[in-house]
């Protein structure tokens, strides 16, 4: 099995663990490579995903490390996360069990596709999100006005501090903190969660991925759009944002952990 090791680089203990785990996997007969930034921090030879074409990406860090890695992949590779963060909803393994599990699956593993959402502003593609897109005002304490168009029909207009457009995978992230439901990641759709809406009647909506979805920013205040907390762009005061199911899902290694059992265990840490 060709393994690409990726670590959060702001934590020396995580880097040392990544190096140690990589060496252990190499001794057990796997081909081990280190992603460029991780390799630079460890002062080892490195490679990009495009150059290496690994069978699996082993990511040591929190959800942010996983989101950043998935964003940077030109071609999606199955990922497995080892939790080196606070909660790590996207991670499946703890450091003390990782070597045994990875050795067990080295002869083959199942892969679970995770739907991503593609976002367009006007006719311009701006990126895919595994967790969510956040639309917020560029000026603190100012509200934005949104219109939601489903299948060409204006279904709702509301004012709020911002709007989250989340995947089911992202339903356990910012969307959950903002009052949204936890959604089975096998269901495909877009979760819309208004942030601090002016009217209490403005509630989260979950919209099937086979419907057309457009969000219109109709505000006197400028807004910004942030994808998975990794990259952002200015929208100005008016914009038309189209949301579609991405043609390229993220790929997660399935180690047989029940999603709802994992969520229950993670929530107990909060």
Per-residue pLDDT of the chain (270 residues; tens, 9 = 90+): 999 999 999 999 999 999 999 999 999 999 999 999 999 999 999 999 999 999 999 999 999 999 999 999 989 999 999 999 777 889 999 999 999 999 999 888 999 999 999 999 999 999 999 999 999 987 776 799 999 999 999 999 999 999 999 999 999 999 999 999 999 999 999 999 999 888 877 899 999 999 999 999 998 889 999 999 999 999 999 999 999 999 999 999 999 888 888 888 878 766
Pairing of strands 231-245, 124-129: unpaired
CB 179 within 8 A of CB 153: no
Phi, psi of 97 (to 5 degrees): -105, -10
Query: d(Cα 119, Cα 185) in Å, to the nearest integer?
Result: 19
Tokens representing 118 are: 């593609």
Contact status, residue 163 vs residue 144, Cβ threshold 8 Å: yes
Whether 117-245 and 2-114+249-267 are alike in CATH topology: the answer is no
**pLDDT confidence of residue 50:** 93
pLDDT of residue 78: 97
Note the pLDDT of residue 99. Answer: 94
- Can you give the pLDDT at residue 263? 84
Buried b (16+ CB within 10 A) or exposed e, 127-152: bbbbbbbbbbbeeeeebbbbebbbee
Class of domain 2-114+249-267: alpha beta
Active-site positions? 63
Contact of 9 with 62, CB cutoff 8 Å: no
Phi-psi region of 88 (alpha: psi -120 to 50; beta: other; left: phi over 0): left
Chain centre distance of CA 3: 21
Q: What ranges do the domains of the chain cover?
A: 2-114+249-267, 117-245
- Topology of domain 117-245 in CATH is Tumour Suppressor Smad4 (2.60.200)
Q: How far is CA 239 from CA 23, 135, 190, 236, in A?
A: 50, 11, 19, 7
Report d(CA 192, CA 115) in Å as an integer: 16
CA–CA separation, 262 and 92 (whole Å): 8
Are 215 and 133 in contact, with CB atoms under 8 Å apart?
A: no
pLDDT at 115: 98
Which tokens belong to 3? 């393994």
CB 66, CB 59: distance < 8 Å? yes
* pTM across the whole model: 0.93
Q: What was the pLDDT predicted at 270?
A: 60
How many C-beta atoms surround the C-beta of residue 39 within 10 A?
Answer: 18
């Amino acid at each position: 099995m060709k393994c690409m090791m990726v670590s959060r680089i702001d934590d020396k203990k995580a880097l040392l663990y990544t190096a140690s785990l990589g060496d252990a996997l190499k001794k057990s007969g796997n081909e081990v490579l280190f992603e460029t930034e991780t390799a630079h921090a460890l002062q080892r030879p490195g490679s990009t995903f495009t150059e290496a074409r690994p069978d699996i990406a082993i990511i040591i860090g929190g959800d942010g490390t996983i989101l950043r890695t998935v964003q940077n992949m030109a071609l999606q590779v199955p990922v497995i996360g080892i939790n080196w963060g606070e909660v790590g909803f996207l991670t499946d393994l703890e450091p003390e069990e990782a070597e045994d599990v990875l050795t067990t699956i080295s002869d083959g593993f199942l892969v679970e596709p995770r739907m991503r959402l593609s976002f367009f502003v006007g006719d311009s593609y701006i990126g895919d999100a595994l967790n969510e897109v956040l639309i917020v005002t560029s000026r603190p304490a100012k509200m934005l006005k949104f219109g939601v168009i489903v299948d060409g029909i204006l279904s709702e207009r509301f004012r709020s501090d911002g709007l989250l457009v989340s995947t089911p995978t992202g339903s356990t992230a910012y969307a959950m903190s903002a009052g949204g439901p936890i959604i089975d990641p096998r269901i495909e759709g877009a979760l819309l969660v208004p942030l601090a809406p002016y009217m209490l009647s403005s509630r989260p909506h979950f919209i099937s991925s086979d419907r057309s979805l457009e969000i219109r920013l109709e505000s006197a205040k400028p807004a910004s759009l942030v994808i998975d907390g990794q990259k952002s762009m200015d929208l100005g005061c008016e914009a038309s944002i189209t949301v579609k199911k991405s043609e390229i899902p993220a790929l997660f290694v399935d180690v047989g952990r029940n999603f709802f059992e994992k969520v229950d265990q993670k929530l107990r840490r909060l």
